[in-house]
Amino acid sequence: MKMNKWLVLVSVLVLAFPVSAQVSLQTVTGAQQNVNTTQGVFGAPNVTGGAQSLSREQLMQAQLAAQSQQMDLSQYIQSNGNSTGRNFNAQQQIAMAANRADDGKPKPYGHNLFTSGFVAERSDGLNSQYRVSPGDKIAMQMWGAVVRSQIITVDNQGNIFVPDVGPIRVKDIPATHLNAVVTESIKQIYPNNVNVYINLLTATPVSVYVSGPVQRPGQYAGLASDSVLFFLISAGGIDPQRGSYRNVSIIRDGETLITYDIYDFLKNGKLESFSFKDNDVVLVAEQGPMITVEGSARYPFRFELKPESRSGSDLIAYSRPLNKTTHVAVTGNRPHGPISVYVPFEEFEAFEVEDGDVVLFNDDIRPKVISVQISGSYEGPSFYSLKKGTRLVDMLSYVAIDPDSANFENVYIKRKSVAQQQKQLLEQSLQRLERSVFTAPASSDGEALIRSREAQLVAQFIERARKVKPLGKVIVADNNNVANIRLEQGDEIVIPERTDVIQVSGEVMMPQALVYNENANIEDYIAWAAGFTERAEAEQVLVIHANGLSRFVTLDSNNFWLDGDGEATLKPGDQILVLPKVDTKLMQSVKDITQILYQIAVTANAVID
């Protein structure tokens, strides 16, 4: 089998009636090739692995190519930082929405620390890390040469007094070590034949004040060994708009004993222990400079930076931008007026941010490769990474096929961008139909009843129509000519199977696949499918060719099925689709509904009643 030079002709699908148009492209010349049992689609010998020699990094870059879009910085600036200037995918939109407060601004970093609604506390008020404090009660049992059983209270100096032994210091000893410490002291006096068992019975609660920008400032009871987080949670947490996560102090008798940076706990798990006493004060300071982070970052929150640490590198350490980040947009205000800058990521590390700045981490990556998929009749890999700008015929030279089973002359493309456009046009048609039906006037009660019933039927029709998913077909082959068009990210190249049947579906009595007969016409195939149903549009049917091109054919006065070029001819692999007929007696918007039915049939190769 030999293949001659081809003149490229592409047919472009148009979502209007008439439903198809042809647009010619430049001529593509291919060298004459001998086709063996297994070869490339257009004659090039099969290359092992196809175009799969690219690196894993290039493959990952190709998979991310569809998500990489150019940022409209002017839109971002004009929106005063409320717009990221790019379209995020569904998962990113959900994550960003969950991280925003009621006022629409991102929530502060660490806000979920106080939203769990659960405080881990044992019912007896004790835990294994509790440290003994004055006022605690301890049960002591001694048996053997000395028998004694008593309950001892820890005095103000942090000691317990054991007769014949003296004071034993137990303050700040963990509850799990209490028995060993007391036993060791008693053994120094009674080294033999005396057994000791010590148990901490009750812990003395302390009363601590929580003040500053918290949700519910006031006085709260806890244990001396409780963490500062326990008292902050008891007070409802830090106020996200006014309180500081970087400056939480413990004050006793007017003196600051310790200052906590909650960010150290959130990022590194560091939280220094502290033994509280009655009347201690947990003071949350006023909020410091806040920087809003958006875009390609793992933590798109509002971050509080310390006055002495406001460089871009400090913000990067907390927000953790993704590896694909290449540039950073910063908008904000300075004493001399508003600013808006767009700098490379490396330069941003030394950039000094100010309170109220909005920082957008952006991925301005221009992918050098794209990924496409092969489906239908082919051999070898189904996924290819290609250099950006690769054209269809060049790529298909590396796809292995069996020429006896692959109908490579009728290859076509399913393109996501085309499917989205088809969906938008269909939605526009459905919206026009809704307006025309739901706003139609009625001159009488009887007509109003009819319009109401019609509106219900149309609403059901629209509901089903909105569920239709267009295929996004791009017709690139016709009359054994294939357009060498530029491929796009995510394209699916379909190579149909060779077949000897004609599919008859839609409004026929027995939808089925029939063996192709070169002497039969459309009317014969419909007759072999038991004829039209009562709801069929008998004067016009849709023929879908193997290359994806759709043509409406009509019955003339001599009972011949014709298309725009004369008598309609069928080829193996074609599909005959009979559409339903809209009853003009029941429906006012027959023309609109009919056009929508045509659109659905052409774009999705489907029929809805």
Q: Virtual CA dihedral for 239, 244, 249, 255, nearest 10 degrees?
A: -100
- Determine the pLDDT at residue 480: 79
Mean pLDDT of the chain: 78
- Contact indicator for 320, 311 with CB cutoff of 8 Å: no
Report the candidate in 391, 412, 353 with the shortest Cα–Cα distance to residue 548: 412
Tell me the two tokens of residue 305: 């930076």
**Whether the domain at 112-122+205-286 and the domain at 137-202 fall into the same CATH topology:** no
Average pLDDT of the segment spanning 365-372: 84
- Determine the pLDDT at residue 81: 41
Q: What is the CATH number of domain 473-480+497-604?
A: 3.10.560
All structural domains of the chain with their residue ranges = 73-98+289-362, 112-122+205-286, 137-202, 473-480+497-604
Question: Distance of alpha carbon 374 from its chain centroid, rounded?
Answer: 25
- Helix ranges restricted to H, 86-241: 90-98, 178-187, 228-234
Q: Quickly name the fold that domain 73-98+289-362 has.
A: Outer membrane lipoprotein wza fold like (3.10.560)
Tell if the pTM clears 0.85, that is, is over it: no
- Determine the pLDDT at residue 303: 93
Q: Is the pLDDT of residue 556 over 50?
A: yes
- Contact indicator for 509, 531 with CB cutoff of 8 Å: yes
> What are the φ/ψ torsions at residue 568 (nearest 5 degrees)?
-70, 135
- Contact indicator for 411, 505 with CB cutoff of 8 Å: no
Q: Quickly name the fold that domain 137-202 has.
A: wza like fold (3.30.1950)
Q: Is the pLDDT of residue 151 over 60?
A: yes
Query: For residues 418 and 534, what is the distance between their CA atoms, to the nearest angstrom?
Result: 35
| Percent of the residues in the chain that have a pLDDT greater than 90, as a whole number | 25
Tell me the range of 65-79, 122-136, 187-201 where mean pLDDT is highest: 187-201
Tell me the two tokens of residue 221: 């009871």
Amino acid found at 56: R
Query: For residues 78 and 85, what is the distance between their CA atoms, to the nearest angstrom?
Result: 10
CATH superfamily membership of 112-122+205-286: Outer membrane lipoprotein wza domain like (3.10.560.10)
Query: For residues 126 and 142, what is the distance between their CA atoms, to the nearest angstrom?
Result: 24
DSSP bridge pairs for 386: 370
Tell me the two tokens of residue 227: 């963490």
